[in-house]
Amino acid sequence: MKVLWTLITLYTPLILFILLLFLLLYIKKAKKSSNEFVFNIFGFVQFPVSIPSLTIRRIFLLFAAMFCLLYYLFIDFSSYFPQRLEMQVYYSPWGIKQNLSIYSESELRSRNIIYKNFEKYQNEYYEKLDERLKQIVSDTSKIGFFTKNKADIHSEGETTFIVEKINGIHNYYIKESRGRLTHILAEAQSNEFEFNSLFEKDKSEYDFIRPSIWDIIFRHEVIIMPSFKENIVEVYSSSSAKFDHRLFGLTKIYTFPYPKFSNTIYLYDNPKVGLIPIGYAVYREN
């Protein structure tokens, strides 16, 4: 039912626009088709003007058609997306490359994202995780979590993503995004090992989404990249004023033919190099 309602609200103005254009092109002239108007200029000059009713109808249809298109300037696209999601995160280089492939090189370069040979820069992120794990895990043999086979590692959890429309044409603000993950290592012939992390949106300029009309109406896609604080914890109830590191979440949002979003690529901020892809999240509506 939700899908049907989305299609109705999204495409009804476009269908009406096409129908009105069709009528505009094929409307025929009536037999009695003249209406006479008298233009009066300050009471000194008066002259009659005959405007065919066919012309009036065409002007009306043209304005009605344009009014239908104006709907897409003021529609709130944030209402089409879920606010609570379940998520799974994977770390294989092959999967990261597949997810990076939906972006052009210029889109990645302009955001200072390392999209070639990024594997050699990932160790800094993994070393930070290991340092934190040493503080909360008693079994030090499990340290080196992400140096294991990436196919044996995944994370699962949930997140919120709340966006609100603000003043202007298609201006949005990421009001809230937070969640939790359980990171799981499941090696063959070995006991499963896991640890937890909490993440929360960090306030930044990336909270404001201001796509151009060209992006919304013609390219049908918008790129967002909010910043997150991630904290490794023993249990989900743990809290701390500090956070362990900062990540960025790169996601492409599509407005047509149906509102949807891509997987999120997580990027570790290495000031000396750039943004390093370290994993990607796959979502499922909660």
What value does the mean pLDDT take over residues 233-244? 50
- Whether residue 6 is predicted with pLDDT greater than 60 in this model: the reply is yes
Between the ranges 37-51, 162-176, 212-226, where is the mean pLDDT highest? 162-176
pLDDT band, residue 90 (cuts 50/70/90): very high
- Whether residue 81 is predicted with pLDDT greater than 50 in this model: the reply is yes
Which residues pair with residue 260 across a beta bridge?
A: 254
pLDDT at 277: 96
pLDDT band, residue 238 (cuts 50/70/90): very low
pLDDT at 185: 74
Convert the pLDDT of each residue in 189-237 to its tens digit.
556 677 788 899 999 999 999 988 788 777 889 999 999 988 877 544 4
Average pLDDT of the chain, as a whole number: 81
pLDDT band, residue 55 (cuts 50/70/90): confident
The percent of residues in the chain predicted with pLDDT above 90, rounded, is 36
pLDDT at 17: 92
What ranges do the domains of the chain cover? 2-74, 77-285
What value does the mean pLDDT take over residues 42-68? 71
pLDDT at 103: 96
- Whether residue 88 is predicted with pLDDT greater than 70 in this model: the reply is yes
Higher pLDDT, 109 or 190: 109
What value does the mean pLDDT take over residues 234-255? 70
- Whether residue 27 is predicted with pLDDT greater than 80 in this model: the reply is no
Q: What is the 3-state secondary structure (H, E, C) of the chain?
A: CHHHHHHHHHHHHHHHHHHHHHHHHHCCCCCCCEEEEEEEECCCEEEEEEEEHHHHHHHHHHHHHHHHHHHHHHCCHHHHCCCEEEEEEECCHHHHHHHHCCCCHHHHHHCCECCCCHHHHCHHHHHHHHHHHHHHCCCHHHCCHHHCCHHHEEEEEEEEEEEEEECCCCEEEEEEEEEEEEEEECCCCCCCEEEEEEEEEECCHHHEECCCHHHHHHHCEEEECCEEEEEEECCCCCCCCCCCEEEEEEEEEECCCCCEECCEEEEEEECCCEEEEEEEEEEEEC
